[in-house]
Amino acid sequence: MSEMIATALLVEAILVAIFAMALKRRNRFVSHYPEFRKFYDYGILAFMTLAVSKGVFLLLDLNDHGVLELSQDQSAMINSAGNLLLLIALLMYVLGWVRLLDVLTEKYEIVPVIEFAGGENHEALKPGLYLCNLPNCYPVIAKPLRGRAGLIVSRNPQRSSGKT
């Protein structure tokens, strides 16, 4: 067996291994990131289709090295089938990326930053993250923020089903 066929078999084995690992970890991934389910599923399907496509092209490699005997028409048909499967795999990758971008851009709302002009006559405040876990944090944060533009970071909490 030549180096070319060995390399083709190695690539096929890697594609199948990636598909198997992705399939094995699917439930864990989806349970942690349910919004990325379609992205992940398209990726799994793309790897599966890519592995099948590579298997089809492997037939042509075997023909080129005399292991299989295929006619010109058969070779052309196998080549067309491999290219079609490759196209389908690439389309699945594109659909997965589109779905990923949709989820990322739908989840977050971009809000412009508004700065208020003010005097620079206030005490120095070190940069960093300041957390307050008191029941009423306003008096605690009001003094350091006086004279400065405030920054409010908020999020939409996950909706619960009403069961606690």
User: Mind listing the pLDDT tens digit for each residue in 44-102?
Assistant: 999 999 999 999 999 999 998 888 899 999 999 999 999 999 999 999 999 999 999 98
Domain assignment present for residue 73? The answer is yes
Asked whether the predicted pLDDT for residue 163 surpasses 70, the reply is no
pLDDT given at position 164: 43
Q: CA-to-CA distance for 156 and 121, rounded, in angstroms?
A: 35
Q: Does the predicted model carry a pTM greater than 0.75?
A: no
Which pair of tokens denotes residue 111? 């809000």
Domain range for 21 is 3-107
Domain assignment present for residue 12? The answer is yes
Asked whether the predicted pLDDT for residue 18 surpasses 80, the reply is yes
Cβ-proximal residues to 93 (8 Å cutoff; 6+ apart), any chain: 42, 43, 46
Round the average pLDDT of the chain to a whole number and report it: 82
Domain assignment present for residue 123? The answer is no
Asked whether the predicted pLDDT for residue 16 surpasses 80, the reply is yes
Q: Residue 123: CA atoms inside 13 Å, Cβ hemisphere, count?
A: 5
Cβ atoms of 33 and 39 within 8 Å: the answer is: no
Domain assignment present for residue 25? The answer is yes
Cβ-proximal residues to 56 (8 Å cutoff; 6+ apart), any chain: 78, 81, 82, 85
How many distinct structural domains can be found in the chain? Answer: 1
Domain assignment present for residue 95? The answer is yes
pLDDT given at position 105: 83
Q: CA-to-CA distance for 164 and 161, rounded, in angstroms?
A: 8
For residues 135 and 17, the model is more confident at 17
Least confident of 1-5, 37-41, 157-161: 157-161
For residues 104 and 141, the model is more confident at 104
Residues 141-150 pLDDT 10s: 777 777 766 6
Domain assignment present for residue 90? The answer is yes
